[in-house]
Structures are given as C-alpha cells and as structure tokens.
Structure 1
Amino acid sequence: MALYGGVDMMDDTRVLALRDGVCVPVREIRAGDAAALQRLVARSSDRSVELRFFGPLKRLSDKQARRFAEVDGRDRFALVALDPEDPGEVVGVVRYEREPGTDAAEYAALVEDRFQDRGLGIGLTRHLIEAARANGLERLYALVMRENAGMLHLLRSLDLPERKRWEDGAEHVEIDLRPSTAA
C-alpha cells in the first residue's frame, strides 16, 4: 500500500482549491481509473493531447490506460484530480516513473482543457513532488515541446533549481527536489 506524505492514499482523498475557488478532489490513481483516463484523453483537445503525447492520439488504448493506471506507488506514482461535479471522471493526472536504479524520474501531466489555467496542474504537481521526495527521488525531469508554454511556465513556477537542455527537438527540464539545494 502506497504512502503519500505519510498518509495512506488508498483511502484518503484530499481537496485542492483552484484559483477560482472550485474545490477538486485529489487522490492517488487506482487500477480502476483506466477507463476514466481514456475518457479524459477523449475529452481533451487535439492540441492538449499532442502536447502531452508528442503527436496525435485518437484514443488511449486499453493497454496504455492500464499501464498508466496500474502503478506501484513508489517507482511509478500518479495522482488524479476528480471532477467535483462527477467524481467518477478524472480531469487531471500527474505522474512520475523512476529511471531504474536512479534517484530520478520522468514527470508527465495532462489536465482537461476546461480545468487548465486555474491552478490545477501546479497544485497536482506540488503534491506529486511531496510524494516523490517521500519515495526517495531527488530529481524529476520532463521532455516538453517548445510550443508547450503552459508546461514550461508550470515547471519554472515551482521555484526549484532546474537545468534545461534540448533533446530530440524538445526541451529537457530537470527539477532538483533535494531540500538542501531547493529554495
């Protein structure tokens, strides 16, 4: 059973208040969320999906959805934000996957278009960072398309030390999570 910030997240749902005052339930992802992830991708704009998956994607396959939803809570971890009006629907997801044998993990996020620019992505990411630190990670990195200004802004707004470089036409942003070096 995974621990998130010392709290058993299997039975715990937190609430994240967005900038506009809407309160969104947040919890660790569950295997049963696979279909909700497929619906999230289906509801998202072509542009949001392209920026997240680096190209067009008509639908998230059953295999992909299961892979994203079935995590171990330590090396593969994800948080979902639930629609406050329909808690069976996922409106945002942030995740990391540890590079085997390292203290670094790849970070990714997708927020449904109607919840973008309201503070959901940054709020989820801050909670994910808490979990990453609790699970012994010292670095998160993301590959971000140059035109994904929203994600680049989100990563910069974390106020954590970062390093950037270009890799295969995308910006590789590495965030340092170590408390001794974090601002």
Structure 2
Amino acid sequence: MVDFFNGALTSKGGRAIFALTSRNREGKPNILISVRKRPNQFSLWESVTTVVTEYGSVNMKGRSVRERAQSLIDIAHPDDRAGLVAEAKRRKILYPDQIFLSESAHLYPAEIGFQQTFRENIEVRFRALKPSDEENMRQLFYRLSDKSVEYRYFYPIKTMFHSDIQEYVNVDYRHSLSLIGLPDAPDCDRIVAEARFDRLSLQDPYAELSIMVDEAYQHVGVGTYLCRMLSRFAQERHLKGFTADVLTENTKMHHVLKKMGWNMKTQRVGGVNRLTMDF
C-alpha cells in the first residue's frame, strides 16, 4: 500500500484518493470524530490529498485540523453532521460558536457544478458554497481592494471575523443560493468569485442580489456569467426578479446589470441606487 501511495504522490499530477461511503453496511457513520480506538487503522492519513463520499469530495492538502474537520463533515451523511459538529466543538476542534444549519445539510444543491472558459482562456469551475469554504471566502475578502470592499459592503471593512464569515457561508438553501467560482486547477480551492441571491421568505417574489469578484478575474465576464446563472436558478424557483442596492459610483456593477436586459426600476436614496429588476 505504501508503494501505491508513494507512486501516486510522486507522479505528475498524481494524488492519493481515499474513497468511502458516508455510512457502512450497518447504517453506521464511516466519518467519525476520531478513529483512535478502532482496529485495522489506515496509517497513511497524512498522505491523503482527497477524500470522497457520495456527498462530494474534499481537498485535504495544506489544511489545518479545523479546516479538515469542516471539510469531512461536509461530505458525511447529512443526518450525522449535527453530531459531528457538536462533538468537534466539545473537543475544541471547531470553535465554540460554530454554526450548523441542519436543514441545509439536506438541501445543499450538489447537482450544481459547471465549468466555463472566459476571455483570455481563463477557465473557472462553479459550485454552491459550503460551510467548509469559510477560510477561502475570508481570503477572497482580503484580496479585494479597498474600493471593491466599499462597493460590496458600503463602508471600509478592514477585518473579516470568524463570527461574520461563518454566518455568510452557512447558507439557508430554502431561501438563498450562493455560487462560487474556483480556478480550474488540481487541488486549488482558492475562491475567485461569489454571487448569491437571498429572499426574506418563501412568499417573497424577489431576492436580493450580490456579487464579488477577485480583482485578477474582473473584466473577463465572470460577473456577467454569474448573474445569468443566478437568474436561471431563480426562475426555476419561480422568482419574479432581483433587487439590489448599488452605490451610484459603482459603474462596473451598473454596467453588468444593464447587460442582463432585465426590466429595471431605479430609486435613488442618497448615494445609493435601489434597483428592482424583473426577469
């Protein structure tokens, strides 16, 4: 077994993949908080770069213990995740205030996954946001320019705390949808774009739209593409349109939204344009 792992890891583009079902034949969890007392242990855990279950795959390379725990919980059986989070908090693997939305464990849109090539042959793959994307979303925030942060949050935020970002990445998929873009490269979890819509209730015919794109991936069509994809998924949910508050000086965002061809109504309040956009 050691030779197989060494061969995979030293091969060009190779990786060591550990695949298992989220539960065994007896219906018991295969992903546990600890296997220290289990017999026949797999001893090369530090060599595993990817873990796969029927609920997805996660890249373990270069992650902290907390990030690994979050990633594995994301691909555990949905009914086992609440217990794993609680036990990980008790053992101080996760932060004491770690959020877990039990409904979202069953509602995560795993069927959303696609790839697109943009100008300058830039390839980006897209999927829905997960709780384990917390650190990569934080890094996206810190790569944004001060002006981009102001456009997104309306005031100059300098620090993105765990308590704030974890609320953002724990998406209630009954009311919201968040799509992220990642470079199409092996073992790359760097988030380069995120767009979402949120509605206050299931009866609300409109959802609030927001987008942020890494500086290095702007002006190639990523934001426009995300708008189109969110529009498609919103219409599948029978939404009438989007709303958005956009700073008047944010000409880039206004340009992207105008390209959509939506029926747009604008109400100016101070330096903010409150937009209502019907599909």
Whether the aligned pair in 2 keeps the contact of 1:12 and 1:27 (CA below 8 Å) is yes
Q: How many residues align?
A: 172
User: Out of 215, 219, 222, which is 1:113 matched to?
Assistant: 215
Q: CA, structure 1 residues 21+103, in 2 after alignment: closer, same or farther (shift >3 Å)?
A: same
Q: CA, structure 1 residues 144+28, in 2 after alignment: closer, same or farther (shift >3 Å)?
A: same
Q: CA, structure 1 residues 83+42, in 2 after alignment: closer, same or farther (shift >3 Å)?
A: same
Task: Could you tell me which runs of 5 or more consecutive residues in structure 2 were left unpaired when the two chains were aligned.
Answer: 1-105
Task: Could you tell me which runs of 5 or more consecutive residues in structure 1 were left unpaired when the two chains were aligned.
Answer: 4-8, 178-183
**Aligned-residue RMSD, C-alpha:** 1.6
Structure with larger Rg: 2
Give % identity. 26
Equivalent residues in 2 for 1:59-98 (5 A)?
Answer: 59-85=159-185, 87-98=188-199
Aligned match of 1:169: 271
Cα-to-partner distance string for 1:20-39 (whole Å, 9 max, x where unaligned): 22110011111111111100
Cα-to-partner distance string for 1:110-153 (whole Å, 9 max, x where unaligned): 00101011100010111111111112211201100011110000
Aligned match of 2:200: 99
Cα deviation for residue 12 of structure 1 reads 4.5
Whole-Å separation in 1 of the counterparts to 2:198 and 2:230: 11
TM-score normalised per structure 1: 0.87
The structure that is strand-richer by fraction is 1
Whether the aligned pair in 2 keeps the contact of 1:38 and 1:59 (CA below 8 Å) is no
Cα deviation for residue 77 of structure 1 reads 1.1
Letter in 2 for 1:78: S
Aligned match of 1:29: 129
TM-score normalised per structure 2: 0.58
Whole-Å separation in 2 of the counterparts to 1:74 and 1:126: 20
Letter in 1 for 2:225: G
The structure that is helix-richer by fraction is 2
* RCO higher in structure (CA 8 A, sep ≥6): 1
Q: CA, structure 1 residues 142+12, in 2 after alignment: closer, same or farther (shift >3 Å)?
A: closer
